[in-house]
Amino acid sequence: MANLQSIKARFGIVGTSKLLDAAIETAVRVAPTDLAVCIFGESGVGKEVFSKIIHGLSARKHNDFIAVNCGAIPEGTINSELFGHEKGSFTGALGDRKGYFETVNGGTIFLDEIAEMPLDTQALLLRVLESGEFIRVGASKVQKTDVRVIAATNVDLQDRVHKGKFREDLYYRLNTVPIRVPALQERREDITVLFRKFAHDFAEKYRMQPVKLDERAELVLENYRWPGNIRELKNVAEQLSVLSEERLITAEHLQANMPQLFNRHLPIPADRFGAGSKTGSDFQERELLYKFLFDMKKDLNDLKTMFYELVKSNDLRMPEVGNFRQLPSFPSGDYVEQNPSRFEQYPSSPELYPADDHNDRAKPIIIEPNKQNGNASFSKSEVEFAPLAMEEIEKEAIKRALVKYKGRRKEAAEELKISERTLYRKIKEYDL
């Protein structure tokens, strides 16, 4: 196998991430074969570079290579673009035209955003993969081609198959050798190295001194989620190179000029393209649930403070640590002092509490100390609670947001960091 460092230098790849090295090694191993390859990865991670590695290290390297973005070609013309057409086969077909599979015969074709390909075109592509045969649009003569196909996508193809938007037989035919290109947030050790590389490139392009990051600015970049991946990082480096008067970039400079870099997002599932992947809607709902859990953590701290103040003001003795189970916190509840030695918390949302068999209303939490030798001490008895379902947490979060903004869905959706459409669906689902 060729040396990884020489391959990185040849194709302009920067980074030392183990995930990146594993993807490159797979591409190098499969390059000498004619197997179909499917490259998975988020938008902006550099999937096309991997297709060039496979072509450049194959026996076809002296023949043509072409990259086709399936999502950028209109549905009505994609068959003509890929397979060609005969004169008069449709309006505007003023002459014969060769398609990509004919012009790149003997070479490699890279089909980016393969998930956007129409179903009828998928059937034609499957025939090419199986037998090397295709027919021009409007023709009846079968033609042969010898083209290696490399596909790429930034979505979960299995999910598209389950929804009937992608052919299952084509999925398994393309997925002979899958290569997963890691997102930038999965290779954070490479972020500052990539930034320095881009900064020097732009300094040479615009004939200026390269910008540099101080330690805190590097931490800002390393902790940002980079939804646009390497493409977004390159844009940031170019903006700072051109617009910044200072050549040493500080965290304060980033805060003033690029506040979006300080946004914090929740992590996405690592297996984005596997069986455990989630849709965009599921991710929004996950963010909503986690946001509510973070709010609960804050409420728990407030509850602790209130509890200690009540114990102190009523001259109660605190139990030893570990004598009682930590009480759960709730998003909204009012402590009512019944008497100097007894306190009750009545929930604003009864469904968060386990109801007894004879009363639909949930029981309040009761904290009652025992009297021993004139001093108050807590008993070791524990109150058991039914575990909270995620649906209940989500429902309560939506209720709080709607109350806070007096029913205005747009503002409530912004508070919950979900779309207004998702919020409307959840309101109907929970009958709020």
Instruction: Assess contact for 134 and 128: CB atoms under 8 A.
Output: yes
| CA–centroid distance for 62 within its chain | 38
Each residue of 280-315: pLDDT tens digit? 455 556 666 666 676 777 777 777 777 777 777 776
Q: Which of 193, 192, 157 is nearest to 174 (CA)?
A: 157
Each residue of 162-217: pLDDT tens digit? 999 999 999 999 988 999 999 999 999 999 999 999 999 999 999 999 999 999 99
In the chain the domains, ranked by start, together with CATH numbers, are: 4-182 (3.40.50.300), 185-262 (1.10.8.60)
Cβ burial of 141 (10 Å; 0-12, 13-18, 19+) is exposed
Each residue of 51-73: pLDDT tens digit? 999 999 999 999 999 999 999 99
Q: In three state form, how does the secondary structure of the chain look?
A: CCCHHHHHHHHCCCCCCHHHHHHHHHHHHHCCCCCCEEEECCCCCCHHHHHHHHHHCCCCCCCCEEEEEHHHCCCCCHHHHHHCECCCCCCCCCCCECCHHHHCCCCEEEEECHHHCCHHHHHHHHHHHHHCEEECECCCCEEECCCEEEEEECCCHHHHHHCCCCCHHHHHHHCCEEEECCCHHHCHHHHHHHHHHHHHHHHHHHCCCCCEECHHHHHHHHHCCCCCHHHHHHHHHHHHHHHCCCCEECHHHHHHHCHHHHCCCCCCCCCCCCCCCCCHHHHHHHHHHHHHHHHHHHHHHHHHHHHHHHHHHCCCCCCCCCCCCCCCCCCCEEEEEEECCEEEEEECCHHHCCECCCCCCECCEEECEEEECCEEEECCCCCCCCCCCHHHHHHHHHHHHHHHCCCCHHHHHHHHCCCHHHHHHHHHHHCC
Mean pLDDT (the chain) is 80
Does residue 278 register a pLDDT over 60? no
Give the pLDDT mean for 228-246: 94
Does residue 379 register a pLDDT over 80? no
Each residue of 403-430: pLDDT tens digit? 888 888 888 888 887 887 788 778 878 8
Q: Which of 73, 82, 77 is nearest to 93 (CA)?
A: 77
Compute φ and ψ for 200, nearest 5 degrees. Answer: -70, -40
Does the pTM surpass 0.75? The reply is no
Q: Please tell me the predicted confidence (pLDDT) of residue 88.
A: 86
